[in-house]
Amino acid sequence: MKTIKGPGIFLAQFAGDTAPFHSLDAIAGWAASLGYKGVQIPSWDTRLIDLKRAAESKTYCDEIKGTLANHSLEITELSTHLQGQLVAVHPAYDAGFDGFAAPEVRGNPVARQQWAVQQLHHAAKASANLGLTAHATFSGALAWPYLYSWPPRPAGLIEEAFDELARRWRPILDAFDAVGVDVGYEIHPGEDLHDGVSYEMFLERVNNHPRACLLYDPSHFVLQQLDYLTYIDHYHERIKLFHVKDAEFNPTGKQGVYGGFQSWINRAGRFRSLGDGQVDFKAIFSKMAQYDFPGWAVLEWECCIKHPEDGAREGARFIADHIIRVADRAFDDFAAGGADVAANRRMLGIG
């Protein structure tokens, strides 16, 4: 068995224009001071990384790794959540997602999608140059506006959406395969890949591509009321990344899973800082250890109540306390009698 690496922290929710969050060196020092051992870097944030340069220059990537090493940190993974979202955008969301793209392609859905695909190709090469084995992203969505089937969906609508999603992603998956990096889709409401069934629909259409893997985040399953522990049993071979994020679901007589168009703090389902929600992390970390999860336990902070710096400080200790140093021998080895074929046959009455 493998001991999970960590704690790591996803920097997307912390990067900013003021110290110590305004540069990779500064934010690395802050993260290390809290006890983190790894950082997951949002590739769209130019304060932290130049993605195109990282794709083209191994020397630049070595400089990034050196900056982090000065603080005894490693890169856990790169993330293209925003760019992955733009690989597939339903027209209803054009205005909402346009801000995720480079200014020169905004207002042009075709150019924006091409830009997003190129960003994923850069991410594949950059990940390889950094010595990484997994990458975090979103799938994007064409079918999401038709999630609740009223009026009834026309026959073939969802199938066509997933056929197109697979068509767009297959060359990207091949690019990641060429450099030996897994693509971990964060299964997330708002994405066409939002639960196990939708992931399997996609996986079938990319012919079970070996790089079409998963980022596991139990918080999104609490909000959907999906069994996040059995999910690990189903998909552990495909889970390559792990966001450690807490959540709670408190339905009332007025509100349930859909949230009633309320702000996060007023929803029945809401994200919380680690330890403040309902996720059974002891069971999750046990299952991850049982199945030899090969990667990092990475904090993603998204809490509607607690200050982010408090969530980050508490989260480092929370993750460290939950990582299981796996056993290197069986607990009953002391009573083992050794291997003896003749004795075994006698014990079975067949000697």
**Rounded-to-integer distance, Cα 220 and Cα 216, Å:** 9
Residue 215: count other Cβ atoms within 10 Å of its Cβ: 27
State how far the alpha carbon of 41 is from the alpha carbons of 127, 144, 198, 274, 310, in Å.
11, 27, 27, 20, 20
CA torsion 285-291-295-297 (nearest 10°) is -10
CA dihedral (66, 72, 77, 81) positive or negative:
negative
Tell me: the pLDDT tens digits for 92-119? 999 999 999 999 999 999 999 999 999 9
**Rounded-to-integer distance, Cα 10 and Cα 12, Å:** 6
Is 289 within 8 Å of 3 (Cβ atoms)?
yes
**Rounded-to-integer distance, Cα 99 and Cα 318, Å:** 34
Average pLDDT per 10 consecutive residues for the chain, totaling 351 residues: 94 97 98 98 98 98 98 98 98 97 98 98 98 98 95 96 98 98 98 98 98 98 98 98 98 97 97 98 98 97 97 98 89 72 87 67
Tell me: the pLDDT tens digits for 273-310? 999 999 999 999 999 999 999 999 999 999 999 999 99
Q: Which pLDDT does position 341 carry in this prediction?
A: 87
Q: Identify the H or E element spanning 173.
A: helix 157-178
Domains of the chain: 5-347 (3.20.20.150)
- pTM recorded for the entire structure: 0.95
